[in-house]
Amino acid sequence: MDYWILVVDDDVSNLTVANSILSSESMRVSCVKSGAAALKFLSANKPDIILLDVHMPEMDGFETLKHIKENENTADIPVVFLTADSDNETETRGLKAGAIDFIAKPFVTEVLLLRINHIVELTRLQADLAHEVEVKTREVINQQKKVEKMTVQIVMALSGAVDAKDTYTNGHSARVAEYSRRIAELAGFSKQEQDDIYLIGLLHDVGKIGIPDAIINKPSRLNDEEYAIIKTHPVLGEKILERIEEFPRLVTGAKYHHERFDGKGYPDGLSGENIPVEARIIAVADAYDAMSSKRAYRGVIPQQQVRAEVEKGKGTQFDPVFADIMIAMIDADTNYDLREK
């Protein structure tokens, strides 16, 4: 046993007895004769356990214990009260104040040693366990962060694959995701919600992977038949993303971003707040990016014209709340930076 024990007692004969019992078991023993001396000792030393007399002149055991527990450097050292009283009140008060146990005086050698052994072992086990839990928790958190990071990277890679297919809308998905996140932020959504909407935005057009390149990259306006094919991309997106069971809202964004607030959109003709909120946000961001990017058959639409179109679509194509936020973003964007670079 290599414990270090501080014994605090105003009665020198008790100190002597304790010292001889404990030293015989090769424990390291320090003895002090008052509460004040104990606190001074503890300011520079950290024993494994403190045996503290309850009745002492000036600073008694309770007050000494209070100081020990208030100091973060000593609060975790187990304190055992030494008392000649066996009354319940003293014991209750001591335990409430943070003492871990009582040892009666005069000392019975065997009891003293067993108690000390028991308490120090228990305290060490607790400390080890707390440390172990902390280490494991940190590992789990790191692992979780890694998985989250990888999820974002996979989503970005997939969204890049969609954008690579479309030579005229370079970076469309990434911009829609950014605008959608900003709209969510300005609408007061939580950080987590903003991050989710960003990912949902990145994959909103993933169904375009299933549309023939000749239609996607057609340098002139689409005919009715081609337009009908393009219009299947939300449902194709749904089919692709429904496998990601852990993030069902990816499907929502892909499937419903062409719904209109007035119910005249596709594929399901949902209206108003029946359209999931992430899809209503993406719808505004998507239309904004389409207008502020150049196409094979036209250049970039001037900012004020884009603004007027968003304004016009309020309540018909767009949820008016998110359209107003988009308009505020346009008005704040004095250099027309929010567009394809």
Binding site for Fe ion (CB under 5 A): 205
For residue 245, the one-letter residue type is E
Ranges of beta strands (E only) in 130-252 are none
Taking the complex as a whole, the smallest distance from the CB of residue 243 to Fe ion amounts, in Å, to 20
Check: CB of residue 59 under 8 Å from CB of residue 35: yes
Order of all β-strands in the sheet with 49-53: 28-32, 4-8, 49-53, 79-83, 101-104
39-69 residues labelled b (16+ CB within 10 A) or e (exposed): bebbeeeebbbbbbbbbbeebbbbebbeebb
From the list 33, 66, 105, 208, the catalytic residue is: 208
Taking the complex as a whole, the smallest distance from the CB of residue 211 to Fe ion amounts, in Å, to 10
Taking the complex as a whole, the smallest distance from the CB of residue 192 to Fe ion amounts, in Å, to 25
Taking the complex as a whole, the smallest distance from the CB of residue 326 to Fe ion amounts, in Å, to 17
Q: What is each CA distance from 164 to 33, 169, 173, 200, 208, in whole angstroms?
A: 81, 9, 10, 18, 11
Taking the complex as a whole, the smallest distance from the CB of residue 282 to Fe ion amounts, in Å, to 9
CA distance 153 to 165: 19
CA distance 115 to 25: 13
Residue closer to Fe ion, measured from CB, 123 or 232: 232
Residue closer to Fe ion, measured from CB, 49 or 282: 282
Residue closer to Fe ion, measured from CB, 172 or 307: 172
Check: CB of residue 33 under 8 Å from CB of residue 66: no
* Helical pair 249-256 and 233-241, crossing angle rounded to 10 deg: 170
Residue closer to Fe ion, measured from CB, 205 or 259: 205
For residue 149, the one-letter residue type is K
The distance in angstroms from the start CA to the end CA of the chain is 73
Other Cβ atoms closer than 10 A to 332: 9
In the chain, what is the greatest distance between 2 CA atoms, to the nearest angstrom?
A: 106
Taking the complex as a whole, the smallest distance from the CB of residue 291 to Fe ion amounts, in Å, to 14
Taking the complex as a whole, the smallest distance from the CB of residue 300 to Fe ion amounts, in Å, to 19
Residue closer to Fe ion, measured from CB, 5 or 236: 236
Residue closer to Fe ion, measured from CB, 78 or 234: 234
Residue closer to Fe ion, measured from CB, 6 or 285: 285
Q: What is each CA distance from 306 to 132, 325, 331, in whole angstroms?
A: 58, 14, 11
Instruction: Indicate if 165 belongs to the active site.
Output: no
CA distance 236 to 52: 75
Q: Which two tokens stand for residue 8?
A: 């605090």
| Nearest one of 6, 305, 330 to 179, comparing CA atoms | 330
CA distance 282 to 269: 16
Nearest position to Fe ion, beta carbon? 205
The catalytic residues are 208
